[in-house]
């Protein structure tokens, strides 16, 4: 089950995610980097940060929308409505998308987070073969997506606590 009123807590922010302390930025109220800064404990002294140089012209090169997205893990139910002969063809395209057979099966088992971008590309492959219904993943959760290495992976040491919290359904 997914919650629609997501609240960001300090423990949710991966250590490798840069925060932005620029309160005067015109987009601070809608930026995930700034939202992360506002939830950090007052006693924290050291953190990666977005520098003022990121702001050029009327745009911040590091801007990330502070909006929860649907994150997914596991793909064992993707082919529930696909005949076996066609599933084989689609599976081969998915293996190319995920770069190898081994990596595809790791995503299939739920070892890695399927980002909204990957979910869109998976849907594009199924649409190519005439399947327009939304694909069903093993687990989904509405949460903030931090685009840092290891986020959402069972194997990432640096974000282990965050990843465990993401998978816990409330």
| 34 found inside a domain | yes
Does residue 4 form part of some domain? no
Q: Report how many domains make up the chain.
A: 2
Indicate whether 137 and 74 sit together in one domain.
Answer: yes
How many Å separate Cα 5 from the centre of its chain?
Answer: 17
- Rounded-to-integer distance, Cα 161 and Cα 168, Å: 11
Q: Does 3 map to a domain?
A: no
Q: Are strands 139-143 and 59-60 parallel, antiparallel or unpaired?
A: unpaired
pLDDT at position 1: 38
Place of tokens 């995503």: 107
List CB contacts of 48: < 8 A, sequence separation 6 or more.
15, 16, 17, 18, 19
Domain membership flag for residue 2: no
Chain position carrying tokens 């409505």: 81
Q: Are residues 20 and 44 in the same domain?
A: yes
Does 59 lie in the same domain as 80? no
Q: Are residues 63 and 16 in the same domain?
A: yes
Specify if 1 maps to a domain. no
Q: Do 96 and 107 share a structural domain?
A: yes
Q: Find the mean pLDDT for residues 49-69.
A: 90
What is the Cα 156 distance to its own chain's centre? 14
Is residue 79 in a domain? yes
Integer-rounded Cα radius of gyration of the chain? 18
Residue 86 shares a structural domain with residue 63: no
- Please indicate, yes or no, whether residues 123 and 149 belong to a single structural domain of this protein: no
| 51 plus 100 within the same structural domain | no
Q: Note the Cα 168 to chain centre separation in Å.
A: 15
Residues 113 and 93 occupy one common structural domain: yes
Are 137 and 80 members of one domain? yes
Residue 156's pLDDT band (cuts 50, 70, 90) = very low
Q: pLDDT confidence of 169, banded at 50, 70, 90?
A: very low
What integer pLDDT is reported at residue 121 of this predicted model? 96
- Please indicate, yes or no, if residue 131 is contained in any of the structural domains: yes
Residue ranges making up the domain that contains 25: 10-68+144-167
Instruction: Give yes or no for a contact between 51 and 101, defined as CB atoms under 8 angstroms apart.
Output: no
- Each residue of 4-32: pLDDT tens digit? 578 898 888 888 899 999 988 899 999 99
Domain-embedded: residue 5: no
Q: Are residues 127 and 158 in the same domain?
A: no
17 plus 44 within the same structural domain: yes
pLDDT at 167: 59
| 3-class secondary structure, 7 | coil
């Amino acid at each position: 089950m997914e919650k629609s009123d997501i609240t960001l807590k300090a423990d949710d922010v991966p250590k490798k995610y840069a925060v932005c302390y620029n309160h005067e930025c015109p987009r601070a109220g809608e930026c995930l980097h700034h939202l992360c800064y506002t939830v950090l404990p007052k006693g924290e002294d050291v953190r990666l940060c977005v520098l003022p140089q990121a702001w050029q012209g009327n745009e911040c090169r590091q801007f990330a929308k502070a909006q929860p997205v649907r994150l997914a893990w596991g793909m064992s139910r993707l082919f529930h409505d696909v005949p076996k002969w066609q599933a084989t063809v689609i599976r081969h395209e998915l293996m190319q998308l995920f770069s190898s057979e081994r990596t595809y099966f790791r995503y299939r088992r739920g070892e890695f987070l399927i980002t909204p971008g990957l979910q869109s590309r998976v849907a594009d492959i199924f649409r190519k073969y005439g399947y327009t219904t939304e694909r069903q993943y093993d687990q989904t959760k509405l949460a903030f997506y931090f685009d840092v290495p290891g986020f959402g992976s069972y194997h990432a040491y640096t974000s282990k606590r965050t990843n465990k919290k993401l998978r816990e359904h409330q």
